[in-house]
Amino acid sequence: MKKLVALFVTLAMLLSVAALLTGCGGETDDVEDPVETSGTNVDASGEDEIGASIDLRSTTDTSNPATDPYGKYPETVTFTTARQMDVGANFPEGMDVLNNPYIDAVYEKLNVEMDLQWQTADYSTKLDMCIVGDDLPDIFWVDNYMTYRELLDNDMIQPITDAFRSCAGEYMRDCYATYGGDIFEPYIEDGELYALPATYNGYQQCLLWIRKDWLDALGLEIPTTRDELVEVAKAFMEKDPGGNGAGNTIGIAVQSTPLGASNQNFGLDAIMASFGAYPQQWIYDENGNAVYGSITEEAKQGLAYLADLYRQGIIDPQFATRDYSDAMGLITSGRCGICFYSWNLPYSASEFLSANPTGDWVVLEAPVNDAGEFTYAALRPDNGVMCVRKGFEHPEILIKVLNVEFDMWRGIDQEGYAAVQPLIEAGTTWTAPMLTGHFNLEYNDAVVRIGELTANYIEKGITPTDTTEYNKQLCENAKRYFDDPSVADTEGWICYMSRYIASNSLKNSVEVPVAFHYATDGMGLYWATLEKLEDQYYMEVITGSASIDDFDSFVSQWKDLGGDVITDEVQDYVDSHNK
């Protein structure tokens, strides 16, 4: 039996290496090819492809399970953990959080068992309770940066540098390499890595989505600048190409919190960015110092422009009381033909096609700034971290479990991928069965990679071979719609619009570096007040009940109420973390 398992593990490893050699699921045609940087050895010890400020090169030694990415422990090792409850996870019959192919594989391959101590919908509060009671699980998820700092400052978590170096598998290393090291910096302290960040892949910035059938019906040009966009919006509202009745077409669909992040769907950040303004982001000023994006001179200009758009009725007059689903309703019902949204709009707007069978969209990197560039503020590369409790003897288990799980889920381990099929068929929330909960491991440029696959397939007829079944299916769906849009199948439309059209419209965006995505001590105390001041002033200016002339007094008030203190803290962080 043991021999059989060993054989299985070896086979899985060979397969995973083979998959990497052929281009890691065929998605690596562009940018740095991991095969070239890491060589053909499993333990690549030459160049540090991760690019962090500390040495994270591989130190794999397969003679000891503790330093072997897939090494099996001679005796069963149990680790305790906790998780955010997945409500409505849709497990297939006979499977649940404690009983599924991932649990089985981790046990069979690593001889590791999970002891789930608790799961709750209110994870952060419960975790804080555990911190108070000094009752932390061995391996646990932290999504609040201040909680991480607190754990660190009070010596409650241990460094995982060695565990990462010896046990990070090829897929994990390749994924992190696409983030260029930035993803690790906030979690490096005194030359040690203290937490493993969960990747939040890039290319999620909002693009300009415009109804192409409406543009064509009115004979309008595709807009590139904000003023051209306004002309298009005006034409849509006045000439009503959608047949909504006079005065019923909305210019731009916007939701009640329109600013704050470049991936804020139904937002207006893209228009602000065309002025060089990045509200609510800590950007760099011309001297390289951190500055809060909502108080810059550019923000003032952008805000004045938005107020003007609102006054003209181009921004949805009711946006202040529209939530996300209200704004989405305007799009799917065909009442509005312009919005800002990430590449994946069709996934959430699947009802659109049945309501507007001939509806078609153009996806643009617009509006551009005076230099002709479409810019966006860099997004936070992680959305939380896994920590290991101080005193737990096997910190490498975190890394090894992730190796096994993601090899299965990404189809690097073919047998593992076959084993998780029942979950995929049942439509289970993909993170629900995983031992590591919501932790994601994905290439930073995954969206673009798949976009290229679909483009190659549709335009050049290159069949995607060395990739996951899932990706192949995406290509097939997109091509089906491309070949015959009149069939109007929703799956095809979703893949065509998002994976082909939108994913290939992301290439010229210029990323503006962000100095700081996290939280400081002072924010705990002052942030609610500052946030309220800002939200209230910005909304009042846009809706016309406050004047843009008060912007300077808003700025000085912001600084006095704690903004200056926080700016200093952010600057300290920047000074101490910049290589």
Partner 1 sequence: MKNRKDQRYYHLMLIPGMIFLFLFSILPMFGIVIAFEDFKPAKGVFGSEWVGLQWFEYMFKLPDTGQIFCNTLIIAVAKILLNLIVPLIFAIMLSEVPGKHFRKFVQTVTYMPHFLSWVILAGILTNFLSLEGVVNSIVELFGGDPVQFLASNEWFRKILVISDTWKGFGYSSIVYLAAIMNIDQQLYEAAAIDGAGRFKRIIHVTLPGMLPIIMLMLTLSLGSVLSANFDQVFNLYSPVVYKTGDIIDTWVYRSGLLGYQYSLATAVGLLKSVVSTILIVVSYKLADKFAGYRIF
User: Rounded CA gap, 508 and 550, in Å?
Assistant: 36
Which tokens is 78 given? Answer: 């149990």
The dihedral built from the CA positions of residue 254, 258, 263 and 268, taken in this order, carries a sign that is positive
**Residue whose CB is less far from partner 1, 324 or 470:** 324
Could you tell me which stretch among 78-86, 181-189, 367-375, 524-532 binds partner 1 (CB under 8 A)? 524-532
Could you tell me the smallest distance in angstroms from the CB atom of residue 110 to partner 1?
31
Helix (H, G, I), strand (E, B) or coil at 338: strand
Decide if residue 256 touches partner 1 (CB under 8 A). Answer: yes
Which residue number, 139 or 330, has a Cβ lying nearer to partner 1?
330
**Residue whose CB is less far from partner 1, 154 or 354:** 154
Taking the complex as a whole, how short is the minimal distance between the CB of residue 546 and partner 1, in angstroms? 10
Min dist CB 35 to partner 1, Å, is 44
- Does residue 80 interact with partner 1 by CB under 8 A? no
538 binds partner 1 (CB under 8 A): yes
157 vs 175, beta carbon nearer partner 1: 157
Radius of gyration of the chain (CA): 25
Question: Which residues are 375's β-sheet partners?
Answer: 510
129 binds partner 1 (CB under 8 A): yes
320 contributes a contact to partner 1 by CB under 8 A: yes
Cα separation, 49 vs 393, in Å, equals 28
Residue 239 contacts partner 1 per CB under 8 A = no
Residues 173-202 close enough to bind partner 1 by CB under 8 A = none
Q: Per CB under 8 A, which region of 78-86, 112-120, 261-269, 527-535 contacts partner 1?
A: 527-535
Rounded-to-integer distance, Cα 544 and Cα 558, Å: 20
Inter-residue long-range contacts of 258-262, CB under 8 Å, 24+ positions, other chains counted: 258/319, 258/542, 259/538, 261/377, 261/379, 262/204, 262/205, 262/206, 262/376, 262/377, 262/378, 262/379
Residue 286 burial class via C-beta count within 10 angstroms: exposed 0-12, middle 13-18, buried 19 and up: exposed
Part in contact with partner 1 (CB under 8 A); list of ranges 21-29, 170-178, 265-273, 518-526: 518-526
d(CA 350, CA 146): 38
Alpha carbons 66 and 50: distance in angstroms, whole number = 21
Q: Which residues contact 1 (CB under 8 A, 6 or more apart)?
A: none
DSSP assignment, residue 384? E
Sketch the per residue contact string, 133 through 162, with partner 1: x for CB under 8 A, - otherwise.
xx---------x-xx--xx-xx-x------
Question: In this structure, what is the dihedral angle of CA atoms 42, 47, 50, 56, given to the nearest 10 degrees?
Answer: 80
- Among residues 10 and 154, whose Cβ is nearest to partner 1? 154
Residue of 109, 199, 78 whose CA lies nearest to 419: 109
Nearer to partner 1, 88 or 461 (CB): 88
**Does position 539 bind partner 1 by CB under 8 A?**
yes
Instruction: Find where tokens 């936070």 sit.
Output: 380
* Least distance in angstroms from the C-beta of 390 to partner 1: 11
Query: Which CB sits closer to partner 1, 133 or 372?
Result: 133
Residues numbered 423 to 452 that lie near partner 1 (CB under 8 A) are none
Among the listed residues 17, 35, 131, 565, the single contact to partner 1 using CB under 8 A: 131
Pick the stretch among 39-47, 288-296, 315-323, 547-555 that binds partner 1 (CB under 8 A): 315-323
Residue 321 within binding range of partner 1, rule CB under 8 A: yes
> Pick from 527, 564, 569, 571: which binds partner 1 (CB under 8 A)?
527
Q: Does 523 bind partner 1 (CB under 8 A)?
A: yes
> Counting contacts by CB under 8 A, is residue 317 touching partner 1?
yes
- Sole binder of partner 1 in the list 43, 189, 531, 564 (CB under 8 A): 531
532: contact with partner 1 by CB under 8 A: yes
**DSSP state string for 517-540:** -S--HHHHHHHHHHHHHHHHHHHH
Strand order of the β-sheet with 338-341 is 338-341, 207-211, 361-364
Contact status: 132 vs partner 1 (CB under 8 A): yes
Q: Considering only 37-45, 122-130, 226-234, 369-377, which stretch makes contact with partner 1 by CB under 8 A? A: 122-130
- CB count, 10 Å around CB of 501? 23
- Tell me the backbone φ, ψ of residue 328, rounded to 5 degrees: -60, -35
Q: Using CB under 8 A, which of 85, 561, 565, 574 touches partner 1?
A: 561
How does strand 188-189 pair with strand 361-364? unpaired
Question: Judged by CB, which is closer to partner 1: 427, or 544?
Answer: 544
Name, in order, each residue with C-beta under 8 angstroms of 522's C-beta and a sequence gap of 6 or more.
562, 565, 566, 569
Footprint of partner 1 (CB under 8 A): 124, 128-129, 131-134, 144, 146-147, 150-151, 153-154, 156, 256, 317-318, 320-321, 326, 523-525, 527-529, 531-532, 535-536, 538-540, 543, 545, 557, 561
